């Protein structure tokens, strides 16, 4: 963890550039079989994302809203894990198939940051998801972002499973 | 009833005064007979200087108010006693002995305060008296006039003048705390007198709302709210009124901080990600101070307006930084902690308070303004958004230590001097500056100097 922190000091711009360029540094090692999301600056291992919203969503009887799966993040991170990228690939396909649909991506955080920091972190998470979709080919003007920080938690508990549910980019069809 | 609302922790009597009580008292006496109606009296050389010793409190004997005039004066005097006792005990400056509750007065007391309530028609006159102790020579007698609904305000003014006479700096009994009441779907801005009375709601936005910040003039409260598709900064008169939008552009405009000269520092993502800007109070003329891909947030002005402390994760984790007001000389200020955030510069510029995250919760810390001598001040439960009183002696913060969210006030040795009980989940406190106006005597107060040695 210390290593990460030290490295992040000067790697962060590189990571951001890598994200913008279409491949996070994790992707290189994780392409064939996505491992569980890597932990970064977290004291506790990140659990598997909650079971809801993670199914590939192709069923024609589902609304676009239902088909768009949320993206989950590690603690204090806006980095897209390989599973997050897989989710966004599926979301991008849904948006490609529904060209008339515009979405807002909400960035959410667990409560273990300060209010203002979490609003900035949620903003960064939503922006990371949007950037990925734009690179996927979705027109930028179809995707807006807004941060909710820790203001609208999905789960109210004070344990890691609740925290994990709250660290997400949530799709809302406009 | 009022006394039962708060768990006061009076200062311990272990205040081993390094300066003799009597000489200090005499010095004050000498000061006061010169007359102190000036707004910025040149009294540095004679005041009891508490700034170098946060442990020390002044022993104060509080005598019950007497009454004169109509029959309601007695009732009013009885109401005034606990208000004054609360103000003085909550100031963090005094160890208060209530003469009506104790038969043995403390030998180390340095002053005795009390006075008289007179009611004629619809007018209340609170005659406040400050005397030295044990000689009981008059230091000051002031008449505070108001109408029947003004009792609390008159007592608060007297309390602040007591602090002024005995320490050289007015107290903070007339100040207010702005805070956010958090709901599941929305939050609203509230304000309450610092003694916990008079809570009222200032917004009805029905949306997420954070970051209250007072204008330097006391007249406005800035805050950020998510209305529609974007967070924006708004300003509302602190006495109530219509909110106006201040920020423009971007989807994240938060963390307003009003500088001493009226400039507004805040965070915006209008140029990409969260960066710190400084603009005029109406939002015009915004100028960007930080330029990087990291999170930059939570600006706090130095009292001179020349520097800004803020939070950035540019080094890999959230940490407290400082920069000049033009964005120059950005450097890390607090080190040694895995996560430090929410810096607030003390009103005198000598200290910072901030939060440190330890084990998934936050502690309130205080350090010198250069980042040295950091120490934990509040560690029970999780504690957020510390904010200085305008005299720099107290810090208000929110905590979940009793379950839910509540507001507490601590002194600089970590003693909780007050818990502010307001309805709802109270968070994000911001302490007001002192209301405008002369500290010692306004238009409806007159101070009588003791006779004798006028200059």
pLDDT tens readout for residues B150-198:
999 999 999 999 999 999 999 999 999 999 999 988 999 999 999 999 9
Q: What is the mean pLDDT of residues B242-271?
A: 96
Q: May I ask the CATH class of domain B175-431?
A: mainly beta
Q: What is the mean pLDDT of residues B427-441?
A: 78
Is the distance from CB of B267 to CB of B254 less than 8 angstroms? yes
The CA-CA-CA angle for residues A14, A20, A21, to 5°, reads: 85
Q: What is the mean pLDDT of residues B41-67?
A: 66
Chain B interface test: which of A15, A79, A111, A123 (most B C-beta within 10 Å)? A123
Which tokens belong to B41?
């009296």
Q: Which of B42-56, B129-143, B378-392, B414-428 has the lowest mean pLDDT?
A: B42-56
Chain-centroid distance, C-alpha B224 = 21
Residue B439 — very low, low, confident or very high, per pLDDT cuts 50/70/90? very low
Helix (H, G, I), strand (E, B) or coil at A161: helix
Q: Which residue has the higher pLDDT, A3 or A78?
A: A78
Q: Contact B252/A6, CB-based, under 8 Å?
A: no
Is the distance from CB of B96 to CB of B130 less than 8 angstroms? no
Q: How far apart are CA B17 and CA B107, in angstroms?
A: 13
Q: Compute the mean pLDDT over every residue in chain A, rounded to the nearest whole number.
A: 77
Q: What is the mean pLDDT of residues B52-75?
A: 85
Q: What is the pLDDT of residue B445?
A: 61
Q: Contact A114/B311, CB-based, under 8 Å?
A: yes
Q: How far apart are CA B265 and CA B324, in angstroms?
A: 12
Q: Compute the mean pLDDT over every residue in chain B, rounded to the nearest whole number.
A: 86
Chain A residues within 8 A of B342 when measuring between CB atoms: 114, 116
Residues within 8 A of B (CB atoms), A 46-75 only: none
Q: What is the mean pLDDT of residues A30-38?
A: 38
Q: What is the pLDDT of residue B267?
A: 98
Is the distance from CB of B428 to CB of B212 less than 8 angstroms? yes
Is the distance from CB of B332 to CB of B354 less than 8 angstroms? no
Closest Cα in chain B, distance from residue A74 (Å): 14
Q: What is the pLDDT of residue B154?
A: 97
Q: Does B254 touch chain A (CB under 8 A)?
A: yes
Q: Kindly report, residue by residue over B381-416, the tens digit of the pLDDT.
A: 999 999 999 999 999 999 999 998 999 999 999 999
Q: Which residue has the higher pLDDT, A8 or B56?
A: B56
Q: What is the pLDDT of residue B13?
A: 27
Handedness of CA A146, A70, A2, A157 (dihedral sign): positive
Q: What is the pLDDT of residue A5?
A: 43
> How does DSSP classify residue B149?
G
Instruction: Give the whole-number percent of chain B exceeding pLDDT 70.
Output: 84
Which tokens belong to B67?
């009454």
Chain B residues within 8 A of A144 when measuring between CB atoms: 229, 251
Length of chain B: 455
Q: What is the pLDDT of residue B190?
A: 98
Residue B124 above 80 pLDDT? yes
Chain-centroid distance, C-alpha A17 = 17
Residue A135 buriedness (CB in 10 A; 0-12 / 13-18 / 19+) = middle
Q: What is the mean pLDDT of residues B418-428?
A: 96
Q: What is the pLDDT of residue B109?
A: 93
Chain A residues within 8 A of B357 when measuring between CB atoms: 112
Q: Kindly report, residue by residue over A72-88, the tens digit of the pLDDT.
A: 999 999 999 999 999 99
Q: What is the pLDDT of residue B447?
A: 63
Q: How far apart are CA B246 and CA B283, in angstroms?
A: 5
Q: What is the mean pLDDT of residues B14-39?
A: 35
Residue B62 — very low, low, confident or very high, per pLDDT cuts 50/70/90? very high
ipTM over 0.95: no
Q: Contact B210/A116, CB-based, under 8 Å?
A: yes
Q: Which of A46-60, A123-137, B272-286 has the lowest mean pLDDT?
A: A46-60
Chain B interface test: which of A12, A78, A104, A117 (most B C-beta within 10 Å)? A117
Q: What is the mean pLDDT of residues A103-125?
A: 96
Instruction: Give the whole-number percent of chain A exceeding pLDDT 70.
Output: 65
Q: What is the pLDDT of residue B55?
A: 61
Q: Domain residue spans in chain B?
A: 58-171, 175-431
Q: What is the pLDDT of residue A10?
A: 44
CATH of B58-171 given 3.40.50.10070, 3.30.300.30, 3.40.50.1000, 2.40.10.480: 3.40.50.10070
Q: Within 13 Å, how many C-alpha atoms sit on residue B416's CB side?
A: 18
Q: Which residue has the higher pLDDT, B82 or A36?
A: B82
Q: What is the pLDDT of residue A79?
A: 96
Q: What is the mean pLDDT of residues B433-438?
A: 77
Q: How far apart are CA B271 and CA B273, in angstroms?
A: 6
Residue B17 above 90 pLDDT? no
Q: What is the pLDDT of residue B104?
A: 82
Q: Kindly report, residue by residue over B364-381, the tens digit of the pLDDT.
A: 999 999 999 999 999 999
In sequence order, the 6+-apart residues with CB closer than 8 A to the CB of A41 are A1, A4, A5, A74, A75, A76, A77, B316, B317
Q: How far apart are CA B274 and CA A120, in angstroms?
A: 6
Q: What is the mean pLDDT of residues B101-115?
A: 89
Q: What is the mean pLDDT of residues B349-354?
A: 97
Residue B11 above 90 pLDDT? no
Q: Contact B252/A123, CB-based, under 8 Å?
A: yes
Q: What is the pLDDT of residue B70?
A: 80
Q: What is the mean pLDDT of residues A83-97?
A: 97
Q: Does B446 touch chain A (CB under 8 A)?
A: no
Residue A19 above 70 pLDDT? no
Q: What is the pLDDT of residue B31?
A: 39
Q: What is the pLDDT of residue B28?
A: 43
Q: Does A119 touch chain B (CB under 8 A)?
A: yes
Chain A residue with the nearest C-alpha to that of B229: A146
Q: Kindly report, residue by residue over B284-341, the tens digit of the pLDDT.
A: 999 999 999 999 999 999 999 999 999 999 999 999 999 999 999 999 999 999 999 9
Which tokens belong to B389?
């009183």
Residue B260 buriedness (CB in 10 A; 0-12 / 13-18 / 19+) = middle
Q: What is the pLDDT of residue B103?
A: 80
Query: Quick one: angle between helices A115-136 and A82-97, nearest 10?
Result: 60
Is the distance from CB of B387 to CB of A139 less than 8 angstroms? no
Q: What is the pLDDT of residue B443?
A: 41
Q: Contact B384/A146, CB-based, under 8 Å?
A: no
Q: Does B342 touch chain A (CB under 8 A)?
A: yes
Is the distance from CB of B320 to CB of B310 less than 8 angstroms? yes
Is the distance from CB of B434 to CB of B169 less than 8 angstroms? no
Is the distance from CB of B74 to CB of B123 less than 8 angstroms? no
Residue B145 above 90 pLDDT? yes
Residue A143 above 50 pLDDT? yes
Q: What is the pLDDT of residue B363?
A: 98
Chain A residues within 8 A of B230 when measuring between CB atoms: 146
Q: Which residue has the tokens 């939503």?
A: A126
Q: Kindly report, residue by residue over B264-275, the tens digit of the pLDDT.
A: 999 999 998 999
Q: Which residue has the higher pLDDT, B18 or B109?
A: B109
Q: Which residue has the higher pLDDT, A56 or B362?
A: B362
Q: What is the pLDDT of residue A59?
A: 53
Q: What is the pLDDT of residue B323?
A: 98
Q: Contact A151/B187, CB-based, under 8 Å?
A: yes
Q: What is the pLDDT of residue B360?
A: 84
Q: Does B315 touch chain A (CB under 8 A)?
A: yes
Chain A residues within 8 A of B294 when measuring between CB atoms: 12
Q: Contact A119/B254, CB-based, under 8 Å?
A: yes
Q: What is the pLDDT of residue B184?
A: 86
Q: Which of B187, B295, B316 sits opposite A120 (nearest CB)?
A: B295
Q: What is the pLDDT of residue B40?
A: 35
Chain B residues within 8 A of A8 when measuring between CB atoms: 315-317
């Amino acid at each position: 963890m210390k290593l990460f922190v030290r490295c992040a000091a000067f790697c962060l711009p590189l990571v951001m550039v890598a994200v913008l360029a279409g491949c996070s540094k994790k992707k290189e090692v994780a392409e064939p079989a996505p491992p569980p999301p890597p932990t970064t600056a977290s004291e506790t291992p990140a659990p598997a994302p909650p079971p809801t919203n993670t199914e590939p969503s192709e069923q024609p009887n589902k609304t676009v809203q239902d088909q768009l799966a949320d993206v989950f993040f590690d603690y204090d991170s806006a980095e897209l894990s390989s599973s997050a990228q897989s989710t966004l690939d599926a979301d991008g396909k849904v948006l490609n198939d529904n060209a008339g649909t515009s979405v807002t991506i909400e960035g959410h955080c667990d409560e273990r940051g300060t209010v203002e920091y979490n609003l900035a972190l949620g903003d960064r998470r939503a922006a990371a998801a949007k950037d990925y979709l734009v690179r996927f080919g979705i027109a930028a003007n179809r995707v807006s972002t807004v941060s909710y920080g820790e203001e609208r938690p999905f789960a109210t508990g004070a344990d890691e499973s609740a925290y994990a549910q709250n660290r997400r980019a949530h799709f809302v069809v406009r | 009833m009022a006394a039962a609302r708060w768990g006061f922790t009076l200062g311990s009597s272990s205040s081993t005064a390094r300066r003799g009580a009597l000489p200090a008292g005499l010095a004050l006496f000498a000061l006061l007979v010169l007359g102190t109606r000036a707004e910025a009296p040149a009294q540095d050389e004679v005041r009891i200087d508490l700034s170098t010793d946060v442990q020390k409190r002044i022993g104060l004997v509080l005598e019950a108010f007497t009454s004169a005039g109509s029959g309601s004066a007695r009732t009013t005097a009885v109401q005034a006693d606990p208000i004054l006792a609360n103000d003085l005990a909550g100031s963090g400056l005094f160890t208060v002995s209530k003469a009506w509750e104790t038969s043995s007065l403390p030998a180390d007391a340095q002053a005795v305060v009390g006075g008289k309530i007179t009611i004629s028609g619809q007018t209340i006159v609170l005659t406040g008296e400050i005397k030295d102790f044990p000689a009981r020579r008059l230091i000051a007698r002031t008449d505070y006039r108001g109408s029947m609904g003004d009792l609390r305000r008159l007592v608060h003014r007297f309390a602040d003048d007591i602090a002024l006479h005995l320490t050289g700096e007015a107290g903070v009994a007339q100040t207010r705390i702005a805070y956010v009441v958090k709901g599941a779907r929305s939050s609203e801005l509230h304000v309450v007198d610092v003694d916990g009375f008079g809570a009222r709601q200032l917004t009805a936005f029905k949306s997420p709302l954070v970051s209250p910040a007072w204008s330097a003039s006391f007249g406005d409260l800035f805050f950020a709210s998510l209305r529609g598709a974007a967070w924006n900064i708004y300003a509302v008169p602190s006495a109530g009124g219509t909110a106006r939008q201040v920020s423009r552009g971007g989807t994240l405009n938060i963390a307003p901080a009003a500088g001493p000269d009226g400039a507004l520092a805040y965070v915006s993502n209008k140029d990409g990600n969260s960066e710190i800007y400084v603009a005029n109070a109406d939002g015009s003329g915004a100028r960007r101070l930080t330029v990087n891909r990291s999170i930059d947030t939570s600006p706090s002005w130095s009292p001179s307006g020349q520097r800004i402390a803020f939070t950035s994760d540019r080094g890999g984790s959230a940490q407290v930084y400082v920069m000049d007001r033009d964005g120059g000389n950005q450097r890390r200020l607090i080190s040694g902690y895995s996560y430090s955030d929410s810096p607030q510069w003390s009103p005198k510029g000598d200290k910072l308070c901030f939060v440190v995250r330890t084990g998934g919760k936050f502690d309130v810390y205080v350090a010198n303004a250069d980042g040295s001598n950091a120490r934990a001040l509040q560690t029970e439960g999780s504690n957020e958004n510390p904010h200085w009183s305008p005299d720099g002696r107290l810090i208000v913060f929110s905590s979940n230590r009793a379950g839910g969210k509540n507001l507490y006030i601590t002194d600089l040795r970590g003693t909780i001097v007050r818990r502010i009980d307001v309805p709802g989940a109270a968070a994000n406190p911001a302490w007001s500056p002192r209301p405008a106006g002369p500290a010692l005597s306004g238009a409806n107060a007159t101070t009588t100097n003791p006779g004798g040695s006028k200059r």
